[in-house]
Structure 1
Amino acid sequence: MSERIAVFGTGYLGATHAAGMAELGHEVIGVDIDAAKIERLQRGDVPFYEPGLPELLRKHVDSGRLRFTTDAAEAAAFADVHFIGVGTPQVKGGYGADMRFVDAVIETLAPLLTRPAVILGKSTVPVGTAARLAARVRELAPVGDQAQLGWNPEFLREGFAVQDTLRPDRLVLGVDVDHPGRIEEVARRVYAQALERETPLVVTDLATAELVKVSANAFLATKISFINAVAEVCEATGADVRDLADAIGYDERIGRKFLGAGLGFGGGCLPKDIRAFMARAGELGVDQALTFLREVDNVNMRRREHVVQLATREVGGSLNGARIAVLGAAFKPDSDDVRDSPALDVAGKLHLSGAQVRVHDPEGMDNAARIWPTLDFAGSAEEAVEEADLVIIATEWRQFRDLDPEAVGRLVAHKRIIDGRNCLPAQSWIDAGWTYRGLGRHSA
C-alpha cells in the first residue's frame, strides 16, 4: 500500500531514504532549509557521492513520485508519515550530540499537523531524546495525541546505502509504550516489501531503539580498535595481524568482519557516535560503564600518528622536504565523505611536518580541498606518485588495490610504500623491489 511520506533533511541519510521510499512505491517529498540543495535534488543531481543513488533519484524525480521543497507547510499538508533524517554532529567544544537540527524539525513540523500523523525519527540521537520529542509533538500539534512519534534508527553503510535502504538486514522500531497509537501499524505499511522478504522487525520501546544504533556503532568501533591494538603487538613481536585476524575470525563468536587492522575508522558516524554515547552516559551518571570507549577512541586516533611516525622513519628521520604521495582522502572507498577521515588527517599531519604531500582520491578531492586547501591534489594516482620518496595507501579504493607495482615503480623516486589499509598483495610489491610496510604485518 502506498503512503504519502515526507523526509525532513536531504543530506546523506535523508536523500537516500527519500529515494528509497519512492523506489518502494510511496509518494515522497523531501524537505530541507537549504534552497540550493533542494534545487539540485529537484534536478536529479545528488550533491554527494553514493553508488546507485543518482540513478534512483533521477528515476523517481522523473516519474513524479519524488519531489523536494523548502516549505514545511507543503510537506505537512501532503504527507501522513514524516521521517526525521537531519544530522546530529558532535557539538563544538564537547563530546555530546548537537540536537539543534532535530529539535528544529519538531518545532517547525508539529504545529502544522492538523490531521493524524506519524513521525518516525531516523537520526542518531542520545537516549531519552525520542521521549522528550514525543511529548513536545503532543504539546505543539493541533491534533494532540493523534500526532505520534516513534524511532526507527538507520543502519546505512556508506557505499552500500541504497542496498541497505531497499534490503535492510533488520528494522528497529521504537514505540512510546504509553502512547503506542498507530506507529507500528504505519511502519509495517511503509516497510511492507521488506517485511514480505522476512526482514526481522524488532519492535521495542523508544530508549532501546535509540540505544540500538549507538550500541552497534560502539561495538564495531571497539572491534576495529581491538585489532589495531593487537597490530601494535604484532609489530613489536614480528607477528602478522592479517594471519591472526583470519585465524580468530573463523570463530563464529568473533567473525572476520571489522577485523581489518590499519589506519582505523573515521567518517560522520562512528567517531562522533561513540563520543556522544560517552557524553550521554556521563549525563545519566553511568559514565564508568563506557570508560572503555575512551580507549577505543584513543587507539583509533593513535593509528594516524603511528603512520606519520612510520613515514618519518621510512624517509630517513625527517619529513622536511620529503615528497610523499597519499592515495586516499575519503574515510572509506566508494564515498566522498572526508569527515574525520584518517587518510586526510595523515596527509595534513605530514604536510604540517614539512613534507611535500600530493593527494589523490577518486571521489573525495573537492571535499578534501575545502578542509585542506594547502595540500597538493593530483588528478590521478600516477600523477600523485611521480617522483615520490614514499607512497602511502590511506583509503582502500579498488583503483589503488589494483595498482601495478612494476608500473608505479617506474614513476617514483624511491620504491617505498606504507600500506595503511593492509589491502595490497604484499609479496607482489616486495617482488617488484619495493620496501613494503604494512600495519602489524611482515614487512620487507
Structure 2
Amino acid sequence: MNLVIVESPKKAELISGFLKKHQLNDYKVMASAGHVRDLKQHSFSVNVEDHFRPEYVITEDKKSLVRELKAAAKKADLVYLASDEDREGEAIAWHLSEALELKPEKTRRIVFHEITAEAFLHALEHPREVNMNLVDAQQARRVLDRIVGFELSPVLWKRIRPSLSAGRVQSVAVRLIVDREREITAFVPQSSYRLQATFVLPSGERLLTELNHRFATEAEAEALMTRCATADFSIGAITRRAARRSPAAPFTTSTLQQEAAHKLGYSVSQTMRLAQSLYESGHITYMRTDSVNLSSQALGAIARQIEKHPGKEYHQPRRFQTKSKGAQEAHEAIRPTYIDRERVGGTPQEQRLYDLIRKRTLASQMADAEIERTTVSIPVAGTDYAFTAQGEVITFRGFLDVYMESTGEEGNAEVTKLLPAVKEREALSLEALT
C-alpha cells in the first residue's frame, strides 16, 4: 500500500476518485489540512544567535492528525508528499517529512498544477525530492514575519489599539501609502480651461468637438470664445488610420484579482477563496502563479475550441513573456483544465469567476481586433488652434468577440464612438460653445 498526502480534504476526495477509476487500489489518500508545524505561538521561537534558526512545534489542533498520518506512513511502502507546488506547499511537504519522521528512501515528492487524472498520474511517474531552496525561502519569510511582528506589534498595541499585528509586507505597504499621501497633501493644484463646441452639419447631424489646446487662465479661454462666436467654420483635414488592439495575457494571481474586482466586484480574499474552490474541484489550474505561460497541450486544446467557435480566422497562436523578475516560469498561467467546458458545478459566484478565466484564456490566443480611427479637424481662422473630433469603428472584432479587458461587461456594439459622415471644406454652424 502507498500513501498520498495532499493539503485539502476536497483534493483528497477528488484524487481518490481518479485512483478508483483507474483501478489503482493500492493507494490511500489523506489530507494534512495545511501546515502541521509552526513557530511557537507565544514566544519568539527564532534563535538569532544560531543563524536565525526557527524552533518549530506541532500545532495543538494537528496533534491527533499527525498521529493518524504517522501510523498510516509506517504501514505504507512509499509515501507521496503531494502538497501544492509553491513555496508554501514545498514547506508543508518538508514539515510533513520531519513531523512524520519519514525515511528518504521511502518518500517521494510529487507536484501537479491542475487536479486532473492525467496530471496526477503523470506526477506519480515523475517524482522528485523536496526542493530545499523553496523550503528555505518560505522559512525566511516566516522568520521575517516573526521578527517584524515581535518588534512592531507592541508599538501598535501602545499607540493605536491592542491585538493589532504588524506584517513584513503590510508594514512596508503602509509606509508607501503614507509617503504617497504626504505627496498628495503637498501638491499645489493648477487650473486649466478647455473649450468644447457642438457644430451642426448641413445634414442636421451634430458633431461634438474639443479644442486642441488648454488655457491657463479663464480670460484666455473667454477671449477665444468671443472670437469663435462671430467666426465661420468648415471641416479641415480628415485623417483615417488603421489600428490594431491585441489581447491581454492569460491570468496570473494579481491580474485575476484586479479583473475580478473591476468586472465582478469581488474582493481579493473572495476571489482567492473562489479560485481555491475551483482549483480543488479540478476546474482550473493552480491559482497562485506569476507566470503567463500556457502548456503545449493547453495551446492545442484552445486552438481547437476557437476554430470550432467563433472560427478559424479568429485563431492566432501567441506565447506571452512574464515581465516580473524571478517569476516561476515552470508554472502555468491560471486557465481552465478543460477549455471546452463552458459551465462548471458550484456556486453562481464560482461560475462567474470561471467564466472570466475561460474567456480571458480564449482571448489570449485570438486574432487582434482591427480598428479604423478617424480624426476630424475644424480650424479656428486666424489662430493656430483647431477643434477636433475623434471616433473609432471596429472593422474586425477578433478577440473582442470573447473578452474586453477592464471596460465593463462585453457588449456587441461595433463602435466605440461613431462620427457622422463628413466631407472636407463642408460648412458648419456653431450651435454651442462651453
For normalisation by structure 1, the TM-score amounts to 0.29
Relative to the length of structure 2, the TM-score reads 0.29
Whichever structure has more helix as a proportion of its residues is 1
The answer to which structure has the higher strand fraction is 2
Indicate the structure whose relative CO is greater, using CA pairs within 8 Å and at least 6 residues apart. 2
